[in-house]
Amino acid sequence: MEILQLLIEEEEGINNINAIPKIIPIIGMGGVGKTTLAQQVYHDASYFDVKAWACVSNDFDVATITKRILQVIPGLSREGNDLDQPQEKLWKHLSGKRFLIVLDDVWTEKYEEWTNLLKTFQAGAEGSVIVLTARNLRVASMAGARAYPLKELPEDACLTLLAYHALRAENFDHHTPLKSFGEKIVMKCKGLPLAVKMLGGLLRTDVDSHQWEAISNSRIWDLAKEEKRDPSLFDTQLSPSPPSSEEMFCLLCDLSQGLRNRKG
């Protein structure tokens, strides 16, 4: 709701200079739910003339990003792969229209690359918005926009999420022997909903307390503390560094294999 409100609020400052659309950066750790939040906003924001989504990642190529946007716009999707001048085509289509563009997983901190991409979006009407997701506050700074920091989920919310995905229940009231293990698992997930969801999927409909205990006490959780990590994977400058999504994914893969071995 806060993001939806930001979409329609008028904002003074750098974002109104030269008709550059409003930019809303959602910043947070990998696996904390940035993309999920952006998807919900994208789905619920129905008052734009044009909406488009592009996954950017670490390959910030203006032509490629522009073609990805064109490919998801109705009426232009069939032309996207054959365009010689994608920015010109997108400029003409956005001209005078209020649009919402989501740029998911932006890594670049190079101002020149960013401004080259923005040139196309200056054709839009007042009220146009670009929502971007990123892990690093420096991306928001580069974009000249105030960051919306997405914090980790509190443990009680994570516990509810785990109960839903593992047990298809709202809580552990009917599975009290598993609750203590669930609390321990949630604590080690460091507030990352993606990790909780994946573990819930691994434990789905499994009410064997031995499996829950094995995951909650697994030695694998300590690996993130013992092994060297690439700081760029989790440097958001927002909070202490829990395991990155890549590390958490590897941990979950190991835990999943362990479960299969135990069941086999």
Q: What pLDDT is attached to residue 178?
A: 93
pLDDT reading at 155 higher than 90: yes
Mean pLDDT (whole number) for 163-173: 93
- Considering all CA atoms of the chain, what is the largest pairwise distance in Å, rounded to the nearest integer? 63
> Is the CB of residue 170 less than 8 Å from the CB of residue 160?
yes
Q: What pLDDT is attached to residue 75?
A: 72
Q: What pLDDT is attached to residue 240?
A: 37
Beta strand ranges found along the chain (DSSP E): 22-27, 50-57, 99-106, 129-134, 148-149
- Categorise residue 37: left if φ over 0, alpha if ψ from -120 to 50, beta otherwise: alpha
pLDDT, tens digit (0-9, with 9 covering 90-100), for 69-121:
998 888 765 554 555 588 888 999 999 999 999 999 999 999 999 999 999 89
186 against 240, higher pLDDT:
186
pLDDT, tens digit (0-9, with 9 covering 90-100), for 170-226:
999 999 999 999 999 999 888 888 889 888 988 886 677 888 888 888 776 665 455
How much is the pTM? 0.74
> Is the CB of residue 160 less than 8 Å from the CB of residue 186?
no
pLDDT, tens digit (0-9, with 9 covering 90-100), for 20-45:
699 999 999 888 889 999 999 999 98
pLDDT, tens digit (0-9, with 9 covering 90-100), for 49-79:
999 999 998 888 999 999 999 988 887 655 5
Question: H or E segment at 255?
Answer: helix 245-263
Contacts of 137 (CB under 8 A, 6+ apart): 27, 147, 149, 236, 237, 238
- Categorise residue 21: left if φ over 0, alpha if ψ from -120 to 50, beta otherwise: beta
